[in-house]
């Protein structure tokens, strides 16, 4: 019975992986991350003002994280009581919602295609869909560089980290991570508006991504067999302004032998990021194709490891 249950759950994970490869984020279907974002926005507009902003932001962040964990814990618990097949279907559904590899790759390719076929201004608009930085003054080279950096960083945020937390805590863990990541992407900025209100959300996101970011870099090294990438990770990984983003970005910079980083404007504030790498060569479409291969390979390995580890700890 245990073996049958493990096989069913493994099938649910692989099915979700294939669905993500084929469909990406289903814009026509209700998505839990959309509701996470709406809830965060509702709380922020009403509480991010006046005094005690740090305390109010902490209550919002911790409260929403706890709420999501309890909601999905009881949902999965009740589904197991009702029918094991319902648990399998919900696992498949929410694992599918938790992955973001297809959409990440699609958006990264689109930036390169648009900037090369339609020009810099169109490329800036396309890039603004996936990054938090100000894109209005970026050159073609900077646009392409930002797209590749985002593909590296979001390989951790959109694939490895959700799967990592699924392995540890199941569907509730995966959905909690998505809430943490959404909180950080919406209020975890060091500007006048969010400096205090979003501080706890940003800190929790740093903690949640600490191991996944480094695991992402390791998997990138493995699938690329790049010794230079290994050197980049050790030399530049901890130089980034983020305690986590530098590791996958350094790995990709080493794989491609390019230079990432440098100063950028985020929400009206200049962030002076250190450079990763020294070869500031012209980027081209072959770079995004190689990045796509790395992302697909890391995702595939990650899914296989997820199933193996869950087997070991007995689903």
Strands (E), the chain: 260-266, 269-276
Query: In Å, what is the CA distance from 147 to each residue of 113, 116, 132, 151?
Result: 11, 13, 11, 6
- Spatial contact of 67 and 254, defined as CB atoms under 8 Å apart: no
pLDDT value at position 57? 98
pLDDT score for 210: 97
The residues facing 272 across adjacent strands are 263
Q: How far is CA 150 from the centre of its chain?
A: 9
Lookup: tokens for 315: 């689903």
Handedness of CA 40, 46, 52, 56 (dihedral sign): negative
Here the contacts of 263-270 (C-beta below 8 Å, separation 24 or greater) are 264/133, 264/134, 264/146, 265/133, 265/134, 265/137, 266/132, 266/133, 266/134, 266/189, 266/191, 267/132, 267/134, 267/189, 267/191, 267/193, 268/134, 268/191, 269/189, 269/190, 269/191
The pLDDT score that the predictor gives to residue 1 is 46
Name the one residue in this structure whose structure tokens are 């909601």.
Answer: 71
pLDDT of residue 132: 77
CA angle 176, 174, 232 (to 5 degrees): 105
Residue 133's DSSP bridge partners are 266
Q: Which residues pair with 263 in a beta bridge?
A: 272
Phi/psi-derived region of residue 133, left when phi > 0, alpha when psi is between -120 and 50, beta in every other case: beta
Supply the DSSP symbol for 149.
H
Task: Answer for the pair 159, 101: CB distance below 8 angstroms, yes or no.
Answer: yes
Q: Using alpha carbons only, what angle is made at residue 118 by residues 115 and 119, rounded to the nearest 5 degrees?
A: 55
- Whether residue 183 contacts residue 175, with contact meaning beta carbons closer than 8 Å, is answered with no
pLDDT one digit per residue (tens) for the chain, 315 residues: 456 677 888 999 999 999 999 998 877 678 899 999 999 999 999 999 999 999 999 999 999 999 999 999 999 999 999 998 999 999 999 999 999 999 999 999 999 999 999 999 999 999 999 887 788 889 999 999 999 999 999 999 999 999 999 999 999 999 999 999 999 999 998 889 999 999 999 999 999 999 999 999 999 999 999 999 999 999 999 988 788 999 999 999 999 999 998 777 665 666 677 889 888 899 999 999 999 999 999 999 999 999 999 888 765
How far, in Å, CA of 180 to CA of 207, rounded?
A: 10
Cα→Cα distances 227→232, 233, 256, Å: 9, 10, 12
Q: How far is CA 139 from the centre of its chain?
A: 25
Domain ranges of the chain: 2-209+284-296+303-312
Tell me the C-alpha distance between 5 and 174, whole Å.
Answer: 20
Q: Could you give the CA distance from residue 144 to residue 138 in angstroms, rounded to a whole number?
A: 10
């Amino acid at each position: 019975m245990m073996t049958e249950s493990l096989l069913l759950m493994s099938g649910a994970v692989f099915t979700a992986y294939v669905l993500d490869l084929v469909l990406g984020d289903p814009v026509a279907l209700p998505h839990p991350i959309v509701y996470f974002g709406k809830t965060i926005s509702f709380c922020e507009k009403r509480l991010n003002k006046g005094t005690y902003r740090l305390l109010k932001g902490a209550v919002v962040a911790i409260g929403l994280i706890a709420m999501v964990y309890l909601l999905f814990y009881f949902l999965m618990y009740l589904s197991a009581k009702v029918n094991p097949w319902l648990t399998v279907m919900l696992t498949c559904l929410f694992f599918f919602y938790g992955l973001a590899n297809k959409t990440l790759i699609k958006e990264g390719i689109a930036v390169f295609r648009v900037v090369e076929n339609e020009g810099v201004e169109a490329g800036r608009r396309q890039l603004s869909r996936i990054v938090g930085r100000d894109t209005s003054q970026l050159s073609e080279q900077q646009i392409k560089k930002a797209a590749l950096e985002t593909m590296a960083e979001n390989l951790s945020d959109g694939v490895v980290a959700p799967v990592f937390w699924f392995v540890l805590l199941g569907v509730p863990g995966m959905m909690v991570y998505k809430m943490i990541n959404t909180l950080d992407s919406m209020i975890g900025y060091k500007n006048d508006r969010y400096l205090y209100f979003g501080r706890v959300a940003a800190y929790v996101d740093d903690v949640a991504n600490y191991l996944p970011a480094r695991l992402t870099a390791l998997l990138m090294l493995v699938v690329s067999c790049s010794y230079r990438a290994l050197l980049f990770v050790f030399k530049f990984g901890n130089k980034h302004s983020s305690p986590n983003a530098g590791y996958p970005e350094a790995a990709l910079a080493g794989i491609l032998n390019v230079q990432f980083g440098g100063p950028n404007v985020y929400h009206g504030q200049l962030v002076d990021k250190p450079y990763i790498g020294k070869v500031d060569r012209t980027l081209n479409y072959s770079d995004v194709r190689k990045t796509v291969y790395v992302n697909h390979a890391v995702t595939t390995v990650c899914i296989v490891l997820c199933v193996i580890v869950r087997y070991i700890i007995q689903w």
